[in-house]
Amino acid sequence: MDRRETIKTMLLGALGTGMLINGCTPGSSDRRKLQDVYDFSSYGRTPEEKARDQRIFSDNFFTDHEFETVAVLCDLILPATATAGAASEAFVPEFIDFAVKEWPNQQEDFRKGIEWLDTYSKSKNGKDFIFASAENQKIILDEIAYPDKATEVTQAGVDFFTKMRNFTLTGYYTTEMGFNDLGYVGNRPNVWDGVPQEVLDDLNMSYEEEWLTKCVDQSKRNDTAEWDEDGNLLT
């Protein structure tokens, strides 16, 4: 199996068969992009914004090797759990691929960071990071994942990994999978009627009676407001 096939297999293993739909053909311009995963054709943009998006979508930055490294790191940062998918299942690598085109000032940090990681991995294992064994990858990870343990040798790696972690978390928790893992249940029409009683009970808290009397009676929210001349609400 050649190098590319190895990667492909590895990614397929992580991603499941969904990856097959768009393929993972060599050549950075053919790689699956964020806009292949999500429909960005209509999200309330002005003509200028649409043109700007198109420009970024058609751009390329990561080489295939860099993209693959980002993908491997994403899934080391957020592997699947019993209830939630891994980062790559939430298309975090594609998000980061987009992000470095959206924010070109990030590009050098990612490129240099990946270079550092490969150089470091080669010095320890004789291989680029993604080809190191899972065990050896973890040894390196433990050296760069904890800022308080950084040394002169690993500082650059720690800085890069912190950035990778930040972008992975943002890329993951801003997806449906991330919302579910987090328990975020907003962004939908509802009627707010205060903190749930069980939450208050757990914290031994309660609303002040005087405050509550000022608040909206949601059963009357559709009654048209009327006031007396002193501003007292009558409805």
Partner 1 sequence: MEIIKKRKEYDAVIVGSGAGGGMAAKILSESGLHVAVLEAGPYFDPALNENRSQLRPSWESPRRGASTPLRNFGDWDAAYGGWELDGEPYTKAEGTDFGWFRSRMLGGRTNHWGRISLRFGPLDFKRKDFDGLGDNWPIGYDDVKPYYDRVDKMIGVFGSKEGIFNEPDGFFLPPPKPRLHEMFYIKGARKAGIPVIPSRLSILTKRLNNDRGVCFYCSQCNRACQIYADFSSGTCLIFPAQKSTGRIDLFVNAMVREVLTNGEGKATGVSYINKEDGTEQEIKGKVVVMGASACSTARILLNSKSSQHPNGLGNSSGVMGHYLHDSTGTSRAAIVPELLNRKTYNEDGVGGMHVYTPWWLNEAKLDFPRGYHLEIWGGLGQPGYGFGFNTTDLNKHFDGVVGGYGDKLRDDVRRFFGSVMGISMRGESVPQFDNYCEIDPNVVDKWGIPVLKFNYKWTNYERLQARHSQETFEQIFDAMGAIPLGNKAGADSDYGLAAPGVIIHEVGTTRMGDDPRTSVTNSYQQLHDADNVFVVDGGVFVSQADKNPTWTIMALSIRTSEYIVDQLKKQNL
Confirm or reject binding of residue 171 to partner 1 (CB under 8 A): yes
Confirm or reject binding of residue 176 to partner 1 (CB under 8 A): yes
Confirm or reject binding of residue 104 to partner 1 (CB under 8 A): no
Q: Using CA atoms, how far apart are residues 43 and 41, in angstroms rounded to an integer?
A: 7
Choice between 1 and 205, CB closer to partner 1 = 205
User: How far apart are CB 227 and partner 1 at their closest, in Å?
Assistant: 5
Report H helices in the chain: 3-15, 18-22, 34-37, 47-57, 64-77, 92-102, 107-125, 134-144, 155-173, 176-182, 197-203, 209-214
User: How far apart are CB 68 and partner 1 at their closest, in Å?
Assistant: 18
Confirm or reject binding of residue 139 to partner 1 (CB under 8 A): no
Confirm or reject binding of residue 201 to partner 1 (CB under 8 A): no
Tell which residue, 10, 7, 38, 6, has the closest CA to residue 22. 38
Quick one: which of 7, 11, 76, 130 contacts partner 1 (CB under 8 A)? Answer: 76
Q: State which of positions 9-28 bind partner 1 (CB under 8 A).
A: none
Confirm or reject binding of residue 215 to partner 1 (CB under 8 A): yes
